[in-house]
Amino acid sequence: MRLPAYALLGIAIVAEVIATSAMRASDGFSRLLPSAVVVLGYGVAFYCLSLTLRSIPVGIVYAVWSGAGIVLITLVAVVLYRQVPDVPAIIGLGLIIAGVAVLNMFSKMQAH
């Protein structure tokens, strides 16, 4: 069964967020389990990301992947590490979301 490109992109985003979250817990890669989660998570993320490029343009893929990753990592930081964003950070996150939405809704880029 072949997953749709946007499902693969969703998996890539979730895997990247998990890997990035585990990176802090790895304590500079000195703790085995969190370090393994980082390596595995990024491996899954980049593999799924590469599969999406078969049908979605790289500019769209990377914008969605990085934008969603930034927003989700910020939410993880709020929940796990109590790192509450200030007003400029919230405005910046809103601009990232708006930029990704504009790119997806109005761009005429095509995959080749």
* Count of H-run helices and E-run strands, the chain: 4, 0
d(CA 21, CA 35): 11
Average of per-residue pLDDT across 15-19:
97
Average pLDDT for residues 20-48, to the nearest whole number?
96
Domain boundaries, the chain: 5-106
pLDDT at 111 over 60: no
pLDDT score for 112: 56
Please, what sign has the CA dihedral across residues 55, 14, 47, 24? Answer: positive
> Rg (Cα) of the chain, in Å, rounded?
15
Contacts within 8 Å (CB) and 24+ apart, 17-21: 17/69, 17/72, 17/73, 17/76, 19/45, 20/69, 20/73, 20/76, 21/73, 21/76, 21/80
Looking at residues 21-37, what average pLDDT do you find? Answer: 95
Q: What is the pLDDT of residues 74-105, one digit of tens each?
A: 999 999 999 999 999 999 999 999 999 998 88
Whole-number average pLDDT of the chain: 93
Helix, strand, coil shares of the chain, percent, nearest 5, are 75, 0, 25
Q: What is the pLDDT of residue 41?
A: 98
